[in-house]
Amino acid sequence: ALIETFVEVDKTAPAEKSGGCTASVVLQLGGYAYVANAGDSRSLIATYNKSTMEVKIAYVTREDKPDLPEERSRVEKMGGQVYVPPPERIQMGASSRVVYVDPVTGGRNGLAMSRSIGDWAAGEKGVIPVPTVDVIDIRGLIQGTKECATTVDANSGETSTPVSCTNSGDIEVFAVSATDGLLDFMDINEIAKKIAMSLYVEEGPHPLSACESLITTAASAWWQAKNGKYRDDIAIAVSKLSLDLIH
């Protein structure tokens, strides 16, 4: 259903012929999270240990970049051209692009992703709205963290569990979706940590304040990098993923 929805939105969205967008969706149904992504925005699923305050990223979507082998193959088979910048420019943040002719201006443009919604002109050259979809087992993330067993003392018969053993009740799971305007200047692990503190630590910031801080930091970095002349879209969405939603 997620794939069909992405394709239908691409067909019916009231977008100009030369403009489109990325899309990243996290949908929880029962004990599973269904993650659909098209473009270079990204979604992550992470865990937070309430005892140790440790944050771990369990899953993150890929960036649909034109130079990925399977993506490049599709684009070129559909008559598109993939531009890959030289290594020194890649180190400076340059991206591979699908080159196409803008139907409005007649100029040659380059789209820095191989999947998107509403980029109809680039779609004729292999840029598709079909998302990658992965399924994450939320219960597995919670229960799977209990990696140690109870031991029995041979002399006293008493049982004990190592202090390092994680109680599954200590594990929380959450999701974050963010655009590349944020991700280009913010480390994904730092994003996960800040959001976890806002969701689960009593003295932590409100989630809205945490998101605002991340956006402001990224916006400042864009200003410095582009001398205030350009800034990509910056957006973030967060949500707890709970097994309580099953009942």
Q: How confident is the model at residue 8, as a pLDDT?
A: 95
Place of tokens 């890649």: 90
Q: Is 50 exceeded by the pLDDT of residue 138? A: yes
Whole-angstrom distance, CA of residue 12 vs CA of residue 117: 10
Answer for the pair 147, 162: CB distance below 8 angstroms, yes or no.
Answer: no
Q: How confident is the model at residue 87, as a pLDDT?
A: 84
Mean pLDDT, to the nearest integer, of 146-175?
Answer: 57
Tokens of 197: 């503190």
Nearest to 130 by CA among 67, 82, 74, 177: 74
Give per-residue pLDDT as tens, 68-98. 999 999 999 998 999 998 888 877 778 899 9
Rounded to two decimals, the pTM is 0.84
Mean pLDDT, to the nearest integer, of 153-179?
Answer: 67
Q: How confident is the model at residue 88, as a pLDDT?
A: 84
Give per-residue pLDDT as tens, 29-48. 999 999 999 999 999 999 99
Q: Lowest-pLDDT range, 81-90, 122-131, 208-217?
A: 81-90
Whole-angstrom distance, CA of residue 25 vs CA of residue 2: 9
Whole-angstrom distance, CA of residue 180 vs CA of residue 229: 18
